[in-house]
Amino acid sequence: MTMQVHSPRTPDVGTKLPRVGTTIFTVMSALAQEHDAVNLGQGFPDFDCDPKLVDCVAEAMRAGHNQYPPMPGVPALRDAIARKIGALYDHRYDPGLEITVTAGATQGILTAILAVVRPGDEVIVLEPCYDSYEPNIELAGGKAVFVPLGRDGEPGSFRPDFERIAAAITPRTRALLVNTPHNPSASVWTREDMHALAELLRPTDIVVIADEVYEHMVYDGQAHESVARHPELAARSFIVSSFGKTYHVTGWKVGYVAAPAPLSAEFRKVHQFNVFTVNTPVQHALARYMADPAPYLELPAFYQHKRDLFRDGLGRTRFRLLPSEGSYFQCVDYSAISDRSEVEFCRWLTTEIGVAAIPLSVFYAGGREQRVVRFCFAKKDETLRSALQRLAQL
């Protein structure tokens, strides 16, 4: 009997995310490397964290903290997070029931969306926005409803327009994503903005997912207006933050989500089958390191120095500086320099000038040309000076 040989065949499974491809961040970083450009595109530091934090991790490993921790996180770390939120924002979360340690803020956002968004639900997204929001909503079977930031008559503004947000609310609206300090625009919500949001949502059952990963990067004496400061909003919100951003360790991928007990219970149902739990020795190290609040309390001054150094240099070019109130980003209008599209301008800037940036248009679902690009100034001073030297010809 002759055995028939069949060619191997991989099934066509289709795609849940047909519009997702190689990100602009990957493209621009590769282009920067190819042309030996200063990479101010991707949002991560090029400097090391505090050696004391690394020592804390090594000591936790040597102490035997190398097996699974509790699903919601190491108790000592959840206690430290609750104390920090209480001290900064005057809101008390129960560390046992209302704080969950996550594998970075991106996982926290996805898990919050999966926990509350059902097929057919709508989620209001304020754009420009972080690129994970829409795919997260699609994976949950929901629909992203985009509302542009900015107000008529305020060029270069990325302030929330509550009339537009109100007009986007329907009976299907399940959640609203808020990001402050904002990536990519570097704008910061005010107390008045939060009051307006609370008033708008008061008669609804809409859940807020508050992306606050840049909470410790607010400048010029302003205070971060966390959702936690506002009891009405805190009662309906998942608040997401990131140790990677705060302690210059983006590669560790550890963050947390704070939410009222009923919301946290639903969050943890997804979390336990999503990642289950998070790196044990790093959690113990962070708990120990957080005993001293100085590193995050000093962060605004640390990054404002870099912001001011960078803005001062850019001010000598033909770029028009947009406000940088928070985060570690600086957006600029290049209309006086070129009429290229944002993507084309960033390619030209990388290959011909030797500095990589990110086009703002990629942060809009449908793309939106404003001749604005984003730089990241979370870099060593010498890196920023090198970039400014190259940009000086503009």
pLDDT score at 143: 98
**Same-domain pairing of 70 and 204:** yes
Whether residue 232 has pLDDT greater than 80: yes
**Neighbour-count burial of 374, counting CB atoms closer than 10 A to its CB (0-12 exposed, 13-18 middle, 19+ buried):** buried
- For residue 61, CA distances in Å to 36, 67, 178 come to 38, 10, 37
pLDDT score at 375: 98
pLDDT score at 328: 98
- CA dist 99 and 82 (Å) reads 7
pLDDT in tens, 41-64: 988 899 999 999 999 999 999 999
**Same-domain pairing of 217 and 159:** yes
Rounded percentage of the chain residues whose pLDDT exceeds 90: 92
What predicted TM-score, i.e. pTM, was given to this entire model?
0.96
pLDDT score at 155: 65
- CA dist 308 and 381 (Å) reads 11
**Same-domain pairing of 59 and 131:** yes
pLDDT score at 278: 97
- CA dist 213 and 102 (Å) reads 13
Whether residue 152 has pLDDT greater than 80: no
Range of the domain at 136: 51-292
- CA dist 268 and 337 (Å) reads 50
Q: Which of 5-9, 170-174, 259-263 has the lowest mean pLDDT?
A: 5-9
CB 179 within 8 Å of CB 240: no
Q: Which of 148-157, 292-301, 380-389 has the lowest mean pLDDT?
A: 148-157
pLDDT score at 276: 96
- CA dist 308 and 369 (Å) reads 27
C-alpha torsion 149→151→157→159, nearest 10 = -50
- CA dist 68 and 98 (Å) reads 20
Whether residue 1 has pLDDT greater than 70: no
- For residue 280, CA distances in Å to 49, 61, 87, 101 come to 19, 9, 25, 11
Whether residue 2 has pLDDT greater than 90: no
Whether residue 363 has pLDDT greater than 70: yes
**Same-domain pairing of 170 and 186:** yes
Query: Is residue 327 domain-resident?
Result: yes
Whether residue 361 has pLDDT greater than 90: yes
pLDDT, average across residues 79-92: 98
The dihedral of CA 46, 47, 50, 51: what is its sign?
positive
**Same-domain pairing of 169 and 252:** yes
**Same-domain pairing of 272 and 376:** no
The dihedral of CA 91, 219, 124, 357: what is its sign?
negative
**Same-domain pairing of 254 and 320:** no
Q: Give the end of a domain, one of 292, 310, 335.
A: 292
pLDDT in tens, 24-46: 888 888 999 999 999 999 888 99
Q: Give the end of a domain, one of 251, 276, 292.
A: 292
**Neighbour-count burial of 45, counting CB atoms closer than 10 A to its CB (0-12 exposed, 13-18 middle, 19+ buried):** buried
CB 95 within 8 Å of CB 118: no
